Amino acid sequence: MSKPSSLSGPLKPGAMIGILGGGQLGRMLALAAARLGLKTHIYSDETESCAFLVASATTRGAYDDEAALEKFAAACDVVTFEFENVPEKTAHFLSSYVPVAPNSRALAVAQDRFVEKSFVAALGIATAPFRDVASEADARAAFRALGGPAILKTRRLGYDGKGQQKVGNEEDAARAYASLSGAPCILEKFVDFAFEASIVAARGRDGAFAAYDPPKNEHENHILRRSTVPAPLSAASFRDAVAIARHIAEALDYVGVLGVELFIGRNGEIIVNEIAPRVHNSGHWTIEACAVSQFEQHIRAVAGWPLGDPSRHCDAVMENIIGEEVDDWLEFAQTPGGLHIYGKRVARPGRKMGHITRLSSK
């Protein structure tokens, strides 16, 4: 017999929260849930997942294994996810048996860059100019329409710079499309921005909304290297960024924490780059710099609890530990700051292995 598709009230301590995905975000969600007396059940299709090490229960299974998913749902009081490439069909299937938050629509929108950009633009929020690309001819036509330079991206399954190429003319665009094996793509006009920022915010089941201070984000090789708070945003730009995140969350009837990645223009204008329907790498600093971290906030939201206070009590710089940098763990351990090592066995190039957050007075 299926469970209700929505919570009838806040989950009590001792309840089980299911998490789809077993990476570091799931690991930190599980640790935050434990602080509140809530249990977690990690479902992952990977043989080894670092979140397995800290969860109350684990299931290894494919995301299309309906028998395993139904058994997982029966063990959980609510289900959430820690990465946006969980198949939308998986979330939709689970929602017939157990409440799922955020909803499957948020996944569907965020998983396809063209759908995502179209959704944001329809809300009257600025994005980079873009065009859908399904052939080499489309790539040439899109470049002519947008002008250059531009970035060709696969519509689906791209992150940390994967599946994207910068192009400078029509032929570049056509060649880039061909190199991506005919995958559906989107061409985005390159944005000349002053810096990148993000809003990490939460929406509760009751519609309550809370946003953290936006960090300035710096990338190396398309991977987030560091996030610094406060960002050099004016008070007006900060209010506008929060309003954008709230508009998106409400339009999606979103429950949980989401990240909205932003380009800040040279005159302070705000352009939305991407939506992340989950806790976000640029919000890791909240563990040390806020009374309620983004991870606890997400657990509170999906469990139907009141949202916590997102205010920042100190300045912070969060830096990712990437690849073989984790071999210097002893040096990191001697450095003042909050150190997090994720427990991944293999340190591949470009893989996020941990992070460290350094604090200073406001």
Q: For residue 24, is it within any domain?
A: yes
The verdict on 174 and 254 lying in the same domain is no
The verdict on 82 and 139 lying in the same domain is no
The verdict on 84 and 209 lying in the same domain is no
The verdict on 136 and 252 lying in the same domain is no
Which whole number is the average pLDDT over 187-215? 96
The verdict on 222 and 154 lying in the same domain is no
The verdict on 332 and 354 lying in the same domain is yes
Q: For residue 115, is it within any domain?
A: no
CATH number of domain containing 152:
3.30.1490.20
Q: For residue 11, is it within any domain?
A: no
The whole-chain average pLDDT of the chain stands at 94
Which whole number is the average pLDDT over 265-275? 93
Of residues 128 and 156, more confidence is placed in: 128
Q: Which of 107-111, 173-177, 299-303 has the highest mean pLDDT?
A: 299-303
Domain that holds residue 323: 193-360
The verdict on 220 and 336 lying in the same domain is yes
pLDDT of residue 47: 84
- The answer, yes or no, to whether residue 160 has pLDDT greater than 60, is no
Instruction: Using the 3D structure, point to which of 63, 82, 100 is the last residue of a domain.
Output: 100
pLDDT of residue 126: 97
- In angstroms, the CA 197 to CA 272 distance is 10
Q: How confident is the model at residue 48 (pLDDT cuts 50, 70, 90)?
A: confident
- The answer, yes or no, to whether residue 78 has pLDDT greater than 50, is yes
Which whole number is the average pLDDT over 334-340? 95
Which whole number is the average pLDDT over 213-227? 96
- The answer, yes or no, to whether residue 234 has pLDDT greater than 60, is yes
Q: How confident is the model at residue 5 (pLDDT cuts 50, 70, 90)?
A: low
The verdict on 211 and 278 lying in the same domain is yes
Q: How confident is the model at residue 148 (pLDDT cuts 50, 70, 90)?
A: confident
pLDDT of residue 235: 93
CATH number of domain containing 252:
3.30.470.20
**Which of 10-19, 43-52, 68-77 bottoms out in mean pLDDT, i.e. has the lowest?**
43-52
pLDDT of residue 29: 98
The verdict on 94 and 210 lying in the same domain is no
Q: For residue 277, is it within any domain?
A: yes
Of residues 252 and 2, more confidence is placed in: 252
Q: How confident is the model at residue 1 (pLDDT cuts 50, 70, 90)?
A: very low
The verdict on 91 and 29 lying in the same domain is yes
The verdict on 170 and 212 lying in the same domain is no
- The answer, yes or no, to whether residue 158 has pLDDT greater than 70, is no
Q: How confident is the model at residue 12 (pLDDT cuts 50, 70, 90)?
A: very high
Q: For residue 72, is it within any domain?
A: yes
Query: What domain count does the chain have?
Result: 3
Q: For residue 237, is it within any domain?
A: yes
- The answer, yes or no, to whether residue 324 has pLDDT greater than 90, is yes
- The answer, yes or no, to whether residue 50 has pLDDT greater than 80, is yes
Q: For residue 25, is it within any domain?
A: yes
The verdict on 310 and 339 lying in the same domain is yes
